[in-house]
Amino acid sequence: MKHTSYLLLLLCTSAVASCTDDDGSGTGTGFPNGASAWTGTAELSGQTLELDVALTHRSGALEGRVSFDLLGQALAYDVVGVVDDESQQVALVPAGWVGESPGLTMFGVTATYDPAAGTLRGRLREGTLWNDNVLAGGAISLSTSARPSTAPDPSSATRVVDGTLTFSGTLRCQSAVRPVTLALTREPDGLLGGTMTFGEDDDTTVGTFDVVGVESATSGRLAVLPVLWDDYLAAGPPWYYSFFVDGTLDGTDYTATVYQPDGTACLEDLFQVTAE
């Protein structure tokens, strides 16, 4: 997880995908089922960027791809994510570059789905370094012609994070197993807010960064996205990125994959924490 440089991605995306919906009525309030194509704009480092995003939705879980052209080079990265059918909150986590990494950072998204308007409105989310603890991403607005689906009955869903919950356990990326604590609180709008604290393999604390998250009671998935560092105790350089996490809740156990903002591969399913 150690890096010596931070390359800012000034991205403009253009992905094209077919738009289908498993629910033909178009009168529901749920996120579109199956494949959907989204277009719109995002603010990044003071620039307005034209976006096209392709997503596939199944039972509260999302996957897709962001494709774009940067200085004449065609680039793409995959995303995974979560839909909360009750609050209409959506989270997208960058899951890795398609093909060779260009050495740039990828962005995630948190947004609110409006089924009546067919829009996603929110903001870009990014990992940062303690010595460059500044957010470049701003507002994002996407729209689709895909029809909303029939949302699951929220009364049949059981949420794990209801109020405030603290998870503790271990994570591993490219190096040793490290201690980690994840504290989450459900906000009135349905987003989760909180902090992530992790340490070295000798239990020395590296630092704490703020996070936002979305939990899907339908799929049992939880996505956690970084905001900014609160505190950083490790000597550096090299520095650590804040990072993204996406995985599955099984009762109070959360098993997930760590995703680095620059696409550095981490070992799968080695973010393992349990609610205290």
Residue with tokens 């986590």: 93
Q: Note the Cα 142 to chain centre separation in Å.
A: 16
| Number of neighbouring beta carbons within 10 Å of residue 268 | 12
Which pLDDT belongs to residue 154? 64
Predicted local confidence at residue 150, as pLDDT? 86
> Which amino acid does the sequence have at 90?
V
Give the model's pLDDT for residue 265.
67
pLDDT value at residue 101:
83
What is the length of the chain?
A: 276
Dihedrals phi, psi of 154, to nearest 5 degrees: -65, -20
Beta strands (DSSP E) in the chain are 2-3, 34-44, 47-58, 61-70, 73-84, 89-97, 108-114, 119-125, 137-143, 164-171, 178-186, 192-199, 205-216, 221-232, 239-240, 244-250, 253-259, 271-275
Per-residue pLDDT of 34-65, as tens digits, reads 999 999 888 888 877 778 899 999 999 999 99
Asked if 208 and 181 touch (Cβ cutoff 8 Å), the reply is no
Give the right CATH number for 155-275 from 3.40.50.2300, 1.10.274.10, 2.60.40.10, 2.40.128.120.
2.40.128.120
Does the domain at 7-143 match CATH 3.30.310.50? Answer given as no
Angle at 125 between CA 233 and CA 160, to 5 degrees: 85
pTM of the model: 0.86
Phi, psi of 10 (to 5 degrees): -95, 95
pLDDT tens digits in sequence order for the chain, 276 residues long: 433 333 333 333 333 333 333 444 456 789 999 999 999 888 888 877 778 899 999 999 999 998 876 677 777 889 999 999 889 999 999 998 888 888 888 999 999 999 999 999 999 999 998 888 889 889 999 999 999 988 777 666 678 888 899 999 999 887 788 999 999 999 999 999 999 999 888 888 889 999 999 999 888 999 999 999 999 887 666 678 899 999 999 989 999 999 998 887 677 768 999 998
Q: Mapped to the 3 state alphabet, what secondary structure does 99-153 carry?
A: CCCCCCCCCEEEEEEECCCCEEEEEEECCCECCECCCCEEEEEEECCCCCECCCC
Specify the pLDDT at position 176: 81
All CATH 2.40.128.120 domain ranges of the chain, comma separated, are: 7-143, 155-275
